[in-house]
């Protein structure tokens, strides 16, 4: 067999992907999961043998020597070969076996190699060439890596009954678990792994007619996989076969590799191989923001629930809900506990809320979250603008890479200080920190349009609308567009969108649109009175029915 290095292998893969028509599938074995904390089959056999010996003989000592006599084919240098026999002898019921496999896989997170696989499979360009994982593993590490590191959710075929959902033309990530799932009848015994379901084989044969196959961390001992490979047509796997392992397996899989002129990549370590692939393809690190967003969503949804419970009328469940809210607050041990406690008093007792914030910042002096939220409280509720500005600045300094802080400070400078140069500086810093932050893009667009920079403002407005599904932001952006676009057809289309949102009850209470109204009137807006009235309705300064007197409002088209 032709032998190449791991680095040459990833360079060849890169060259094939560059041609645009190539297609590859990764075949992942148990060796890929070791660095993520899941032992390989050989390690499990050595772990299980003392337990089995104790059950059979009453003691655990000398388990490997005992195994040599108990199993005719036991070889201490290759314990994987008797994996099926040992698990069947030790765990004699299906429930026991499933419980053991579940415990082995439980609580394990995908390490570096799986993160690279996820980034590669979900890459905008490379996913066209490699979006399929075949695996004999029971764990969820591929699916977890995709969700955690890229926010992509693969189609996981964990049982042969799901095979009908596989579409060969699928472009999204696909994971096929050939021996089942840890929680769904995993196949461990030799009799269970001898054959693949015929429907599964049919799909795999079709799938592999147009791909290459890269084996990683796989020992090649499964009869069912050997049978599948032998049944592939001679024209299958046109993009080649790469066997990444220190050894060629003995038996059917090894013979098939030789017959098919597979390329032997003499390399064992999955994470090292993926490191080379990461470097060759210039992949990016997972974004920490992904994890911050998860916690942010959890916290913000609870905060909304807290407000909802507090403002709801009395009911038989209200007291229990309030008790549960208090338990959640008391259990929180970080800055969030302070924030939740302060929110309880923001409207009813702002002095008490202020004391809580100040004490919390004293306890957590490096919490940019508390500083940023305290600034918003001082700005919007206490109207202490000097204090608000101090904490806006402190939050930006404490965490300059979080787009919310410079974005909030920019909005403050624009609307409270009327410092337009300073506002533009901080809007730019916010967008540099997070280019796709829809709220900052919308606010900056409104600022640019209100200060006469129409062309640039409309560009940012289009980006914000493309990125958001939030009704409040859409309402504001549609108003800006209605106020400033020179295209009559587009202006009327935006008015139609505004009417639909306002009829649905969407408002932005207290939102100051005066800068945009003034600029639009200066620029000769054809409906200045409607524009002013619309701004007041959006800010909840007037009821929506005042708009009915305007003919344009009655028939926007």
Read off the pLDDT of residues 128-145 as tens digits, 9 standing for 90 and up: 888 899 998 878 899 989
CA distance 28 to 142: 10
The mean per-residue pLDDT over the stretch 97-122 comes to 88
Q: Is the dihedral of CA 346, 349, 354, 357 positive or negative?
A: negative
Q: According to the model, what pLDDT value does residue 21 have?
A: 84
Q: Report yes or no: 120 and 126 within 8 Å, Cβ to Cβ.
A: yes
pLDDT confidence band for 182 (50 / 70 / 90):
very low
Between 304 and 171, the more confident residue is 304
CA distance 218 to 198: 22
Q: Report yes or no: 424 and 431 within 8 Å, Cβ to Cβ.
A: no
Residues 6+ apart with CB under 8 A from 213: 24, 25, 27, 134, 237, 240, 241, 242
Residues of the chain with pLDDT > 70: what percent? 94
Between 314 and 180, the more confident residue is 314
Average pLDDT along the chain? 89
pLDDT confidence band for 465 (50 / 70 / 90):
very high
CA distance 508 to 538: 6
Query: Would you list the DSSP string of 263-298?
Result: EEE----HHHHHHHHHHHHT--PPPHHHHHHHHHHH
Q: According to the model, what pLDDT value does residue 475 have?
A: 95
Map out the domains of the chain as residue ranges: 2-38+108-281, 41-105, 437-557
Q: Report yes or no: 409 and 426 within 8 Å, Cβ to Cβ.
A: yes
DSSP 526: S
pLDDT tens column, 282-326: 998 888 777 777 888 888 888 888 888 888 887 778 888 888 888
Architecture of the domain spanning 2-38+108-281: 3-Layer(aba) Sandwich (3.40)
CA distance 462 to 481: 9
| Statement: residue 265 has pLDDT above 50 | yes
């Amino acid at each position: 067999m032709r032998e190449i290095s791991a680095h040459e292998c990833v360079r060849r893969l890169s060259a094939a992907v560059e041609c645009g028509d190539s297609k590859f599938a990764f075949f992942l074995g148990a060796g890929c999961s070791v660095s993520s904390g899941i032992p390989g089959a050989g390690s499990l056999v050595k772990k299980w043998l003392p337990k089995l010996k104790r059950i059979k003989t009453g003691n655990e000592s000398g388990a490997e020597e005992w195994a040599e006599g108990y199993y005719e084919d036991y070889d201490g240098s290759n314990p994987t070969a008797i994996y099926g026999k040992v698990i069947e002898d030790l765990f004699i019921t299906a429930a026991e076996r499933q419980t053991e496999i579940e415990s082995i896989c439980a609580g394990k997170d995908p390490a570096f190699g799986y993160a690279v696989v996820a980034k590669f499979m979900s890459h905008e360009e490379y996913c066209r060439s490699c979006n399929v994982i075949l695996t004999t593993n029971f764990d969820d590490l591929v699916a977890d890596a995709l969700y955690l590191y890229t926010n992509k959710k693969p189609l996981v075929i964990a049982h042969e009954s799901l095979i009908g959902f596989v579409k060969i033309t699928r472009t999204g990530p696909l994971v096929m678990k050939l021996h089942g799932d840890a929680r769904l009848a995993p196949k461990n015994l030799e009799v269970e792994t001898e054959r693949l379901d015929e429907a599964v084989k049919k799909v795999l044969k079709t799938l592999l007619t147009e791909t290459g196959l890269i084996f990683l961390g796989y020992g090649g001992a499964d009869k069912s996989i050997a049978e599948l490979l032998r049944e592939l047509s001679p024209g299958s796997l046109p993009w080649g076969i790469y066997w990444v392992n220190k050894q060629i397996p003995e038996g059917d899989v090894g013979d098939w590799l030789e017959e098919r002129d597979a390329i032997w990549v003499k390399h064992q370590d999955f994470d090292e191989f993926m490191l080379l692939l990461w470097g060759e393809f210039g992949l990016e690190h997972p974004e920490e923001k992904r994890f911050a967003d998860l916690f942010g969503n959890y916290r913000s949804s609870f905060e909304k629930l807290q407000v909802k419970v507090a403002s709801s009328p009395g009911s038989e469940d209200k007291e229990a809900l309030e008790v549960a809210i208090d338990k959640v607050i008391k259990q929180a041990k970080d800055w969030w506990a302070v924030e939740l406690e302060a929110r309880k008093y923001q409207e009813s007792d702002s002095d008490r809320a202020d004391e809580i914030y100040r004490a919390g910042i004293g306890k957590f002096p490096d919490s940019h979250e508390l500083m940023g939220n305290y600034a918003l409280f001082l700005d919007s509720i206490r109207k202490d603008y000097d204090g608000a500005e101090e904490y806006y600045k402190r939050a930006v300094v404490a965490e300059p890479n979080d787009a919310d802080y410079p974005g909030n400070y920019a909005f403050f400078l624009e609307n409270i200080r009327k410092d337009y140069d300073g506002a533009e500086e901080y809007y730019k810093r916010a967008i540099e920190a997070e280019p796709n932050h829809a709220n900052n893009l919308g606010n900056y667009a409104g600022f640019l349009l209100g200060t006469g920079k129409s062309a640039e403002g409309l560009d940012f407005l289009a980006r914000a609308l493309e990125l958001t599904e939030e009704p409040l932001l859409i309402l504001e952006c549609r108003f800006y567009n209605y106020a400033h676009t020179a295209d009559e057809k587009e202006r009327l289309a935006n008015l139609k969108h505004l009417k639909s949102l306002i009829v649905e009850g969407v408002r932005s209470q207290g939102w100051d649109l005066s800068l945009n109204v003034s600029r639009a009137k200066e620029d000769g807006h054809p409906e200045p009175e409607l524009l002013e009235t619309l701004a007041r309705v959006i800010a909840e300064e007037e009821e929506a029915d005042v708009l009915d007197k305007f003919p344009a409002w009655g028939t926007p088209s």
